[in-house]
Structure 1
Amino acid sequence: MPLGDEPVSFTTMVRGREIRYDRDAINAYLGRLFTLPHGEELCAFQKQLSRGNWDIPLMTRTLLRRNGGFEYSAAQNPLRVLRDEMATFTQLLLLLVLHNIQPCSHT
C-alpha cells in the first residue's frame, strides 16, 4: 500500500515473482491496445464517479420506494440503501448483478 503521497505501484508479488497489472501489462496480456477517445482520460462513468456529484434526489425517485432514502455517513455523504427501501425492479436488478454479473467465487 502506498503511504502518504506515494504513487500506486501497480505490482504485486505472487509466489516470489513480481506481477505487473498496469495498463500496459494488461494490454500486452490481452494482445490488443486499448485507446481512449482523443483527448479523454476517463470514460463517462469514471468521470462521474471521480467528480462525486451524483444526483441523489433523482436516484431516490428512480430507484427507491416512496418515502425511501439513503443512509448517510457522519460527513453527510450518501452511504447505502437498505434493500427493503428499494423498488421491486431495483431489488431484482441488484440480485442479477450480485449473483450473475459480479460473482464472488473464482470457480
Structure 2
Amino acid sequence: MLSEKGKYASATENRRFVWKEIVWPLVIEHNSAEFTLMQYQKKRDETCTKYGISVNALSRGLASLLQRGLLYKDNQSYFIHYRLIAYMRLKADVDYGTALHEIKIR
C-alpha cells in the first residue's frame, strides 16, 4: 500500500483506499448510514487479506476519515455524513473525492 511517496501523499492514498475498499462498501452492504467498530474491523481484515496488505498500513485510515468530516463517531458506532445518505439510498458508487466535495461544497 505504501509507496515512495511523502508522508502526506501516503496518508491521502491510505484514506482514499480505506474509503473506497472498506467504508463505502460496508455502508452499501448494510444499507445503513451507521456501522460498528466490529463491522469495520471485519471488513478491514477481509480487505487486507484480499489485497495482501498489513492492517498497520491502514491503521490511520478510519481516524483520518473522522478528521476530514466524512464520518462521525458516537460511542461504538460510526456514521457517514448526512449529505451522503442520499447516495447510500441510491447505492451509488461514491469515491473519496466526490464524498469530500459533497460535504464541503453544499
- Whether TM-score is above 0.5 comes out as no
Between 1 and 2, higher relative CO (CA 8 Å, sep ≥ 6) is seen in 2
Report the TM-score, using the length of structure 1 for normalisation. Answer: 0.22
TM-score, scaled relative to structure 2? 0.22
Give the structure with higher Rg (CA). 1
